[in-house]
Chain A
Amino acid sequence: MIKNISNLGDAALYCDFGDEVNKDINSQVIKYFRSLKERNIEGITNLTPSYNKLIISFDLNKTNFREIKKLIENENVNEIDENFVKKIEIPTCCEDIFALDIKRLESKLSLKREKIYENFFEKEYFCYMTGFIAGMPFLGDLEKNLRLNRLDTPRVKVPKGSVGLTEQFANIYTYESPGGWNIIGNTPSKIFDSSKEKNPNLINPGDTVKFKKISLEEYDNFNE
């Protein structure tokens, strides 16, 4: 449930679901997000779910903080329709040319790469949120032995399709962008398709993701 509602400036509502980051709290955020999105409320211009917050932006010409706050307080959130939750498989190639930071992970985590990949590929991940750059999914939770901070100095360019790890999360760079995550592989899959008017995102908050190891040959011949 929402712990606290406050204003973020004069044109947004800040809903705080608690300090923790876990699947239960995030599922609450996603429930509110989906429920409000479906209702398509006049005046609301954006809904931004994250780990434990939901920010609701609105058009100050059409409504205001008090009105939207009242609406949220009285909102009967729908239970998540399980049909909306997708299970997605992401083919990932971990050859040296893609695994830019595997050596750093091996030395910092004191694990052999075989073990890192074994642990990484066996788990199913939950999409907490998407964003920062278009379509980038934040997936959790990594096994405790794979958790590491960002690079000390972020890369100026992380290649498109890179699969990265930081703390308890994995992500996928949907296009070339600066970034500081530890890169362990690359997917040929199109995670964000800007030519699609509807649903350009392959992975949405609440979806589950499983990575599947592929060879360089499979990577090169990949066809969606």
Chain B
Amino acid sequence: MSNYFEILRAGINTTFQDNGRKNLYHIGVPFSGAMDQRNFRLANSIIGNKSHFPVIEFAYQGPLIKYNGDEINFVITGDVIFKIIKGDKEIQGNCYENYSIKDGDEIDIISTNKSVYGYLAINGEFDLKLQWGSCSINTKAMIGSNNGEKFKDRQKFEIKKINSNRIVKKMNYINTKIERIRVIKGTNFDYFSDQGKKIFFEKEFTVSKLTDRMGMRLEGPKIENVVNTNIRSEGLIKGVIQVPADGNPIVMLSDHGTIGGYPKIGVVISADYDRLVQLSPGSKIKFQEINLSDAETLFKLYEMETQNLISQL
């Protein structure tokens, strides 16, 4: 192993991610992939990679990595506090800025700042075994690279190739917070009482601690169901908001189970998904109703914004 990352501290939930797996829902395999797709794509773009290259995703506390090998570049995206340790010198790191590291240098990803996920990309390729065309690790289903497991202390990850990419020094981008999540009414919207519907769109909900890559659990006033608290099990997609019998909504996130039997009150629009997943436990949110054509326009704008950021590089 000539060039490799040595994981001195694994962090809370550190995994390899890319743009996920397609066309496997029908056998029960979730989409997975980087939770915040914009920050994933920006990481690859700044380092000069193709947009779908595997990156390291971390949540809350990130890993402490020791680098061994030839000079390499890396970038971190998201809202992340980190430092680079070169011998007895410490550099405070900035997100969306490229850094070069040499043999023995360390990257200490201390934490995400009032957000959840951050991304680390290198101008190189990790030596990863893909599963169904993707590296994305789903720890609950044990699918993906690294035997479907999150990073562990003292693991080593080989870098099989360092690319001489056109590397950009930095990008100016600031993540914005979202407080109003826009939602299209779900297929079981009418299962809920008038009062329940009103609560859903008017009251504040708190992101619970029981939130992970599979789902975001919300706490707040109970949403009353007047038809049936179960439906025939059917397909789910990311962003679907289910309300089980206890009246507390759960938003399906990227590693969600492929089918479920709770009524669907709404679906988060695609344009708001990346910012939704960045809401840490304790955050307050409100839902706002929107129609399909406005949601489509908002997605186009969101995508254009991402493209503009990339094309400015």
Contacts and interface: CB of A to CB of B under 8 A. Distances in A.
B25 interface: yes
B237 interface: yes
Given A55-B235, A201-B27, A8 B303 contact: no
Contacts of A135: 27-28
Given A130-B27, A175-B142, A45 B186 contact: no
Nearest to B24: A46
A148 interface: no
B237 A10 contact: no
A194 interface: yes
B25 A46 contact: yes
Interface string B1-36: 000000000000000000000111111110100000
Contact of B184 (A9, A33, A57, A197): A9
Contact of A7 (B27, B141, B259, B292): B292
Contact of A194 (B23, B131, B258, B270): B131
Contacts of B270: 9-11, 60
Interface of A: 6-12, 14, 21, 33, 37, 44-55, 57, 60-61, 64-65, 129-136, 138, 174-175, 192, 194, 197, 200-201, 204-205
Given A7-B184, A9-B240, A46-B25, 13 more contacts: A9-B237, A9-B239, A10-B267, A10-B269, A10-B296, A33-B26, A48-B258, A52-B232, A55-B25, A55-B237, A131-B258, A132-B259, A194-B142
Q: Which 10 A-B pairs have the closest CB atoms?
A: A48-B235, A9-B267, A55-B235, A131-B28, A10-B295, A46-B25, A134-B28, A50-B234, A131-B258, A53-B234
Interface of B: 22-29, 31, 131-132, 141-143, 184, 186-187, 232-237, 239-240, 257-260, 264, 267-270, 292, 295-296, 299, 303
